[in-house]
Structure 1
Amino acid sequence: MGEPVRLALRSTDSFLRWTPDLIAARDRQVVMIDCKSRMTSRTSSRHAIENAAVTAHLQLVAWTRLPLYYAFDNLDLLTPGDALGTGIHGPRTTAGSGAPYLLVPSDRALAFDQVFGPPRRTSLPRVA
């Protein structure tokens, strides 16, 4: 989706504005990934996810029958179900968009390698 469309969708209440950033595949495993940069508090060690995103993503997972993961800067992963089940409603703030959000303790997150396995080693061609 192009940037002009993303910008236009931000002014709507359409769930399309929450389209995941990536669709990835490894072998026959297909997943959706929504990147969450700068969404982890250094002081409280909690990940923040907007309530509207969680609602949209739960419906997207049900519709597509594909898993969706929130990927944070440190490669912690959470699912929309994790966010809904273990998150608490954050305080209303005027910082950022001011939208309601969930706070999820980072110790509830899964490690990237735990979900996707360790990186595969590839053989590089020998240099003469």
Structure 2
Amino acid sequence: MRYALRSTNSSLRWTPDLISANSSRIALIDCKSRMTSRTTNRHAVERAAVTAHLQLTAWTQLPIYYVFDNLDVLTPYDALTTGRNSPRTTAGSGTAYYLIPSHHAQPFETTFGTPHPHPTASAA
């Protein structure tokens, strides 16, 4: 489905990867692998995805989080307000991105809490 949606301008193209639930707290998560530059220490998020995710947040009234490989967490609003427009290049797709300094991100534990072992889990 994602392959077919790539050829469209539909906001469904940027549907988040996961839905998380902790009791009644529900959130949408968009995983961002290989979207952090180790050289510049900035995260990259496609501008069209940010627009679609802001609209999806308004429609569903559920938060959306970007979770990067290093478990940094940003929201679409963070990307919009603290990101800088990346220069368009002829390499790759030439897609427009926001570049967000990683110091604007929150640690995973701050956003989602520390995992607790399940009460029925046995010690290995």
TM-score by length of 2: 0.94
User: How many angstroms apart in 2 are the aligned matches of 1:8 and 1:109?
Assistant: 32
Structural mapping, 1:1-128, within 5 Å: 5-123=1-119, 124-125=121-122
Q: CA RMSD in A?
A: 1.3
Unaligned runs of 5+ in 2: none
User: How many angstroms apart in 1 are the aligned matches of 2:73 and 2:94?
Assistant: 24
- SS of 2:37's partner is coil
What displacement does 1:126 show?
A: 6.3
Change (3 A) 1:21 1:126: closer
Unaligned runs of 5+ in 1: none
- Give the fraction of aligned pairs with identical amino acids, expressed as a percent: 63
- SS of 1:20's partner is coil
TM-score by length of 1: 0.91
